[in-house]
């Protein structure tokens, strides 16, 4: 098993959309960045890349590359999934937190979870996203920016398949098989 941690922060500015978890959220300001500046998705991508020892999002999607100007972070997350798959890792779970004084994000979290799960081709119950304020403290509390952090757990394909075989054998065999000696 491998654990990864990610963090991101972007400044709040006028004349930008506020996009978090792939959801456009009504607000008077949005996040400044080369892409859509989706801090929660960026933190999740860095957690996944870190767990797989693949560097960070700046290495794979540099803000100096015009190809990523205004790109959807959900699209970048799909590309990270491909990198994870190429290394034969399986995502076990993701836990992420958004730090923002305003707006209130609770009504948007279920859609954020769905967007992240869909992009990563995992179940929604493998993704947890939550939001908190900072009680008016610091740059997020003063509404100058929004930050996010995330942690994830990856396992290898071999461990994932072995766990499945063990579980299926305990329940009477694999897909109609009369059983074998594995896991008994």
Is 147 part of any known ligand binding site? no
Please indicate if the annotation marks 62 as binding a ligand.
yes
Is 155 assigned a ligand-binding role in the annotation? no
Is 156 assigned a ligand-binding role in the annotation?
A: no
Backbone angles phi, psi at 102, to 5 degrees: -145, 155
- 71 assigned ligand-binding residue: no
Q: Is 10 annotated as a binding residue?
A: yes
Residue 60 is labelled as binding a ligand: no
> Given the structure tokens 């996009």, which residue do they identify?
19
171 is in an annotated binding site: no
Q: Is 108 among the annotated ligand-binding positions?
A: no
Is it true that the peptide bond before 103 is cis, omega within 30 degrees of 0?
yes
Residue 160 assigned as binding residue: no
Q: Is 134 annotated as a binding residue?
A: yes
Q: Is 58 annotated as a binding residue?
A: yes
Q: Is 72 annotated as a binding residue?
A: no
Tokens of 115: 């967007």
* Residue list, annotated binding site for a divalent metal cation: 8, 10, 42
* Known binding positions: 8-10, 34-35, 42, 56-58, 61-65, 132-135, 139
């Amino acid at each position: 098993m491998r654990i990864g941690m990610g963090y991101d922060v972007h400044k709040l500015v006028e004349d930008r959309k506020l996009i978090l978890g792939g959801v456009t959220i009504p607000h008077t300001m949005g996040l400044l960045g080369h892409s859509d500046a989706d801090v929660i998705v960026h933190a999740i991508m860095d957690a996944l890349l870190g767990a797989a020892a693949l560097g960070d999002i700046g290495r794979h999607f540099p803000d100096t590359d015009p190809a990523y100007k205004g790109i959807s972070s959900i699209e970048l997350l799909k590309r990270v999934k491909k990198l994870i798959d190429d290394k034969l890792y399986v995502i076990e779970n993701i836990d992420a937190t958004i730090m923002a004084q305003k707006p209130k994000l609770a009504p948007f979290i279920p859609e954020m979870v769905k967007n992240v799960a869909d992009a990563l081709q995992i179940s929604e119950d493998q993704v947890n996203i939550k939001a908190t304020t900072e009680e008016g403290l610091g740059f997020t509390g003063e509404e100058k920016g929004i930050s996010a952090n995330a942690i994830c757990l990856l396992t290898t394909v071999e461990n994932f398949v072995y766990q499945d075989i063990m579980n299926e054998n305990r329940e009477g065999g694999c897909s109609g098989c009369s059983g074998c000696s594995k896991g008994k």
